[in-house]
Amino acid sequence: MRRKIVAGNWKMNKTATEAAALVADIRKAANDGNGPVEVVICPPFTDLKTAAEALKGSSIGLGAQNMHWKADGAYTGEISAAMLKDLGVKYVIIGHSERRQYFAETDETVNLKTKAAIAAGLVPIVCIGETLDERQGGKMEQVIVTQTKAGLAGVDMATVVLAYEPVWAIGTGLTATPAQAQEVHALIRKTLAEMFGADTAAKVRIQYGGSMKPDNAKELMSCPDIDGGLIGGAALKGDSFAGIVSAGA
């Protein structure tokens, strides 16, 4: 039985001062993460220290939104796994669609970052997903399989969490139905089985990252291969985030 995991990706939102208030709201609304669903928040780098302090005594995990694969060096503006660990970070999002779209993230860098995260003892949340052009062009399966195989080649999957992001359904006015989401999650799990074996594939948790909200979360997480959510906008308010967490219980 895979434990559901709901992670809030705050993206480039909230100052450190605002983060403390939001963490307090989330702790109260989500019962400090003391439930059947694993709860994670992923604030911006500048908020991590504040969030770590604000989370003390709770069961809510702290995640980052990105990291570099090198341990140190002349990489201006980048953050290493050791820097994250030192702040109390346990999870890290890797290969988010916005990183791919705006910052030239590739399947190769996703693979390097995932291996580095695991080596450092972090839990990587690895993102996969197709664009609107790719879906309309009939390339969904090709893109999903390629990203999965290339991004996870040679990876120890024991702690990896995956997140399917239908990029075409984020901010476009289009909506992925639970059936469409389940279809891709099943494809990802099938690909994992081909790469790592059926037992490993059955254990890997795959989140859904396509505009999950309190009113559609239960239906989505009831699908057999959807094991939680990677939440964007709805993670910026304690009550809406907690509503999604409750839907996974």
Q: Which of the residues are catalytic? A: 96, 165
> Which tokens sit at 94?
């890797």
Instruction: State the CB neighbour count (10 A cutoff) for residue 43.
Output: 29
Cβ atoms of 78 and 45 within 8 Å: the answer is no
Residue 40 φ/ψ, nearest 5 degrees: -135, 145
Residues 6+ apart with CB under 8 A from 83: none
| Residue 83: half-sphere exposure toward Cβ, Cα within 13 Å | 16
Q: Which residue's entry shows tokens 């399989």?
A: 145
Rg of the chain over CA atoms, in angstroms? Answer: 17
